Structure 1
Amino acid sequence: MTDGTASKRVTLAVTGAGGTGAAGRLLRALQDDSRVEEVHLVVSAAGRKLAGYEFGTAEDPQSVAQALGASSPKVRVLDPNDLTAPIASGSYRNDAMVVLPCAAGVLGRIAQGQAEDLIERAADVQLKQRRTLLLCLREAPLNLIHLRNMVSVTEAGAVVYPMIPTYYNVPETLADLQDELVERLLELLELGRTDRYAWDGTGTPARREHATAR
C-alpha cells in the first residue's frame, strides 16, 4: 500500500444493503481529494436497485453513478459482471477497497472465497495481496453465521466496520451520522480530513459544536 502522502487508487463497491447515501458521501470525498488519483466505482445489481429506491432515480448504471455524485474524470464506473476489469487482478495496484454498504450475503461469499462477481473477486484480490479492505456491514440483528463470517474475513486481513452510528457527538441529522462514518473510513484509508470527531479527553469538536448550537 502507498503511504499517506502518495497518490492512491481506491475501489468503492456498493451492494444491496441500506445506506447508499453514505456511499455517495464517501465517493464525493474521494473524488475531491487530491491524494486520490483514481476511484473505481462498482455497484451490484441489487445495489443499483437500492440506490434507485433511496435516491428516487432510475436503476441503470449511469443514473446510479450520477445519483451517488460521480462527477470527476478520476471516477471509473465498472461493470460488476466484468471479471476482466483491472481490479480483478493482483498485478494491478489497487491500494484500498471499501464495500459500503456491505450486504450480509456479500460478506459471506467473501469469507468463503466465492468470487461470483467483480466486487467479490476484487475483495478476494485485496485479501490475497494483503491490501486494505473495509467491509461496512449493514445488517441487524446478527446471527451466528454473520458473526463467524466476520471473524473469517478479519482473520484474513479485512476490517469489518459495521454501519453503527456513534451518539456521543450528539448527531442531529442523517447527514451528521453519514459525515462521521465517512470521516472515520477516510482515517482508516489514511485520507483523514478533519479532527472534528477526535476525542481529546473531554469531548470532540463535533460534540462541542452541537452543544453550543442548542
Structure 2
Amino acid sequence: MLWNIQPNFLKAKASCALPNAKMLPERSAGAMLQPCYNRRLAVTQTRKQSYGFTLLELLAVITLLGLLAVVAVTSLDGVEDDSSIRITKIEMSELRNALRQFKRDVRHFPDETSSPSIYDEQSRVRLLVQCSDENIATNPENFDAGCNIWSTDTARGWNGPYVLSEGIADSWGTPYRLSYENLEPRLISHGANKQYEGVNTTDRCLPNGDSSDDIVLCLLK
C-alpha cells in the first residue's frame, strides 16, 4: 500500500509547479491544484496593480512640478535683482575712488570748472577714460577746460585712464550720472527702472522718496 500511495503523493506535489492531473483521480487532482491556482492568480493581480501610475497620480505630480518651477523662477528673479544692486554699488564705490583720484590729480572733478558745463550729467564720467584741454570744436568727446596733461614737475594734471570704459554703465546698462547740484558732487545710478527720479531735498545723498530705486553716492562723504 505504501508503495502505491507515495508516488501518487509526490506527483501531486509536483503538479503545483507544472500541473499534471493525469496521475490522480479527477476529484483529487482538482482539489490539490486549486490552492496553487489561487496563488498564481494572486501574484498576477499584484503585478497588474503595481504597474505604472494612475492618471490622477500623474496629474498630481505634474501640478507639483509646475508649482516648484514657479517658486524657483520667482526666487531667482529676486536673487538676480539683489545681485544687480550689489554689483552696481560696488562699481559706484570704485568710481568714487577714481573720481577722487581725478580730483587730486587735476584739482577738480570732471567738467566741474567748465562754464557753462560742456557735458550733461550722464557723460561726465567718460572723462575718467580720456581727458584733454584741447579745443572743444576739434575734440568734443574728451574736452575738459583745465584738464592739462600730467606734469612730473608739478605732479598735477590728468594721469589716467582711471577706469576701463566698460565700467561706466550700471548693471542695467544706463550710464552713471555725475551731478554737482548745489555744490554736492553725487554719483547716481537710475536703478532697474532706468529713470532718474530727482533730488531728495532733505538729504541729497539718498534717493528721492521710498518708491525711488535710484542709487545715490555722495563723493565727499
Relative contact order, higher structure (CA 8 A, sep 6+): 1
Q: Flag the structure with larger Rg.
A: 2
Select the structure that is richer in helix. 2
Select the structure that is richer in strand. 1
The two structures have a TM-score, normalised by structure 2, of: 0.23
